[in-house]
Amino acid sequence: MSAATSRRAAVYASLAVAWVVAAWLLARSVVPRDLELPAVDVDAVFGSGFVARAERYERFLYVNWALSQVAVLGTLAVYARRGARLARESAAGPIGTGMLLGMLGIALAWLAGLPFSVLALWWDRRHGLSRVAYVDVVLGGWLSLAGAFLALTLGLVVVMCLARWLGSWWWLPAALALGSIAAVLVFAEPYLATGLQPPSDQRLEQSYERLARAEGVDGVTLRVQKVSGDTSQANAYAFGLGPSRRIVVWDTLLDGRFADGEVDVVLAHELGHQASHHIAKAIGWFVLFALPAALVVMLVTRRRGGMGDPASVPLALLVVALLALAAMPAQNVVSRRMESEADWKALETTRDPTAARGLFRELAVTSLGDPSPPTWAYVAFATHPTLAQRVAMADAWAQREGR
Amino acid sequence: MARVGHAPVDDDLHRRRWAVLLRPVLVLPALALLLALVVLAVVAAVLGWFASLVRGRMPLGLRNAGAFAVGYGGRVARYGLLATDRYPDSGPGHAAAPRMHPIAIRVRDDLGRPRLVVAFRPLLAVPHLYWLVLWSVPALLAAVAAWVAALVIGRVPAPLHRFLAAFVRAVAHVSAFLHVVGRPYPGFVGREGGYPIDLTIAGPARQRRLGVLARIVLAGPALLLAAAYALVGLIVALLAWIAALVSGRAPSGLRDLGVSSIRYQAQTASYLLLLTPRYPNSSPALDPSGAGEEADG
């Protein structure tokens, strides 16, 4: 073994150890390790008629998603073979040409997926879950590509500059640099978001402040997003970083379908994300996933001259799309772990498992969500624990507390 | 072409039925462009009124801007009223340059526009737009420094001139791409010769200090006309985008009018940023060789 190979092996081994340690640190959770979720009779809790309807609804979406992936990956595969020819449409030098090829690849992938987005919207409208106009999917999707283009070109500039500078070691600093860019974007996102209003309901504000105090969260603003014109589904989310942290609830959660206690569980859940620093941890996970992904991209694109050459960009897009697809189950495990922790914190804060059960039942109804999807779908798509698992966690918490 | 009275008319009386049937729709793009050109002509007329009162002479460029709009209006009317089957040509035509303008535009373009690059063109330009916004901050500082330097030494120092020229050129390149006037994706640094629609910017020249001192005020009328040219450019971009999406080519008339719009705006920016003491040439006509432009504002 040559000295260079030994050095390389030592670097890879050190990185692997660091990766495992970082993953272990990021994966820590307050959910008791010995927590056993009791079995939930899904038909009894959610109603057998509803469960059958939800299964039918989601089955179509699974097929639609699978077909869209075939279309998008097929398009990117063709683009990986032929896309480099479009370099002649650029007068922008190697990095600018790489940016053009990257953006055109994303645009083609969007075009390939567009019919399936329209189909998914048709299905949602048919089930009364969406009121979004078809033209909004097309025009809104087209316009939203601007943001994707900007993020992509920023990433490509970093990757291509590093590749031209560092050769085959670009992937290591690139993963860290991409993580930094992600952190900046996550930080800036709340300041760029539009249509978020301060809550007009005094009870909501008082509950929020009480729950935030209980979870030890300070300086996180609550906002309400008006979505009732577009959808009947209810949702909430936490975003931002440091001083830009926000919690947003959709106005559909506040339209009277959910009891006050159920809304409190949602607020406590989102505060749980902020209290547990899940957004910062998600950026950490992004870097951990980006490291091996960048290494694979480096290895695959070497034969085309590496990422410093714009001709490699179409192939890199295909590789990234395939890796993203392959990493989905692992990313879902991470996401579900964070969501479980937020659920547990919500139970600890509200101490109201009845409201939590009611919330999860109502969420199933308003989003037509299958409470217990097939295992393969759970592994592939579920970013949250199933609604049945969430009900089971509320039951488990009640049992532990002797309620 | 024959004439009835003073109006030129087509000898060919044959009319394609489908084109006649769709004429009320087909004339709409030409009417939209005419509207923008009327705005240009009105601004040119107002400026020409003041200039004529002061100098007793109508500036050639302003006269040509108005005349072009009137001529195009006539072509649109003939087409709309079925006097001809030929779609109105929006090209500004060419005119020999009595004096070469220091800020000239060169066109090396084959009119081909691949549909994929056309379809997403406004979005593809987004990184450039962000870049230009960032660049505009040091460019503004450089312009202030150039202004102070020109007041003191009577000319803009070469490094500042180069920096500002690259900025103006980069804006012109991106503008050409965005308006479907140029074909390829432009570079980011405003390199001379780096784009098929390119500016040649003469080196620093001596400037009268009084003219430098009052540059912002003096540029006022040109900025007004530049705004009108920008409106023309916007309509050109929209029409050329649709045409290129359908046919994979940019119509030459629209392309040339877009070039005129970009050139005027570049000359105005150059005048404002002290790259030249010469006032912008307001005529839409292009130089026949593409190597220089008609002068006399």
Q: What angle do CA A176, A180, A184 make, to 5 degrees?
A: 170
Contact criterion met (CB < 8 Å) for A104 and B117? yes
A150 with B126: Cβ contact below 8 A:
yes
Residue type, B198: D
**Among candidates A86, A91, A143 on the partner chain, residue whose Cβ is nearest the Cβ of B194:** A91
What 3-state DSSP class applies to B197?
A: strand
Instruction: Report, as an integer, the average pLDDT of B7-27.
Output: 85
Would you give the DSSP letter of residue A2?
-
Question: What is the rounded distance in angstroms from the CA atom of residue A166 to the CA atom of residue A169?
Answer: 6
Q: At residue B235, does pLDDT exceed 90?
A: yes
pLDDT tens per residue across span A243-284? 999 999 999 999 999 999 999 999 999 999 999 999 999 999
Which residues in chain B have Cβ-Cβ distances shorter than 8 Å to A184? Answer: none
- Confidence (pLDDT) at B98: 60
Over residues B238-287, the pLDDT tens digits come to 999 999 999 999 999 999 999 999 999 999 999 999 999 999 999 999 87
Banded model confidence at residue B8, pLDDT cuts 50, 70, 90: confident
State the first-to-last Cα distance of chain A, in angstroms, to the nearest integer: 64
Q: Inter-chain contact B120–A145, Cβ cutoff 8 Å? A: yes
Nearest CB neighbour to B126, from listed A88, A108, A146 = A146
Instruction: Give the residue from B147, B163, B138 showing the smallest Cα distance to B207.
Output: B147
The secondary structure of chain A in percent helix, strand, coil, rounded to multiples of 5, reads 75, 5, 20
Kindly determine whether residue A145 and residue B127, on different chains, have CB atoms separated by under 8 Å.
Answer: no
**Do the beta carbons of residue A368 and residue A57 sit within 8 Å?**
yes
Ordered per-residue pLDDT tens for chain A, 403 residues: 688 888 889 989 999 999 999 999 999 999 998 899 999 999 999 999 999 999 999 999 999 999 999 999 999 999 999 999 999 999 999 999 999 999 999 999 999 999 999 999 999 999 999 999 999 999 988 888 998 999 999 999 999 999 999 998 999 999 999 999 999 999 999 999 888 999 999 999 999 999 999 999 999 999 999 999 999 999 999 999 999 999 999 999 999 999 999 999 999 999 999 999 999 999 999 999 999 999 999 999 998 889 999 999 999 999 999 999 999 999 999 999 999 999 999 999 999 999 999 999 999 999 999 999 999 999 999 999 999 999 999 999 999 887 6
Output the six-digit token pair for B193: 């010769």
Name every residue in A having a CB less than 8 A away from some CB of B.
86, 88-93, 96-97, 99-100, 103-104, 107-108, 142-143, 145-146, 149-150, 153
For residue A231, the distance in angstroms to the closest alpha carbon of chain B comes to: 28
- The pLDDT tens digits for A7-33 are 889 989 999 999 999 999 999 999 998
Closest Cβ–Cβ partner in A96, A104, A150 for B130: A150
Q: Which amino acid is at A381?
A: F
- φ/ψ of B209, rounded to 5, equals -65, -35
For an interface test with A, the pick among B117, B177, B181, B185 (most A C-beta atoms closer than 10 Å) comes out as: B185
Q: What is the pLDDT of residue A303?
A: 87
Least confidently predicted of A5-14, A248-257, B4-13, B217-226: B4-13
Sign of CA dihedral A244, A219, A214, A248: negative
- Rounded to two decimals, what is the model's pTM? 0.89
* Chain A residue whose CA is closest to B119: A107
Confirm if A264 and A148 have CB atoms less than 8 A apart. Answer: no
Output phi, psi for B100, to 5 deg: -70, 130
Confidence of residue B9 (pLDDT cuts 50, 70, 90): confident
How distant is the Cα of A91 from the closest Cα of chain B, in angstroms? 5
* Longest Cα separation, chain A: 71
In angstroms, the separation between the Cα of residue B90 and the nearest Cα of chain A is 26
Q: Minimal Cα–Cα distance from A88 to chain B, Å?
A: 8
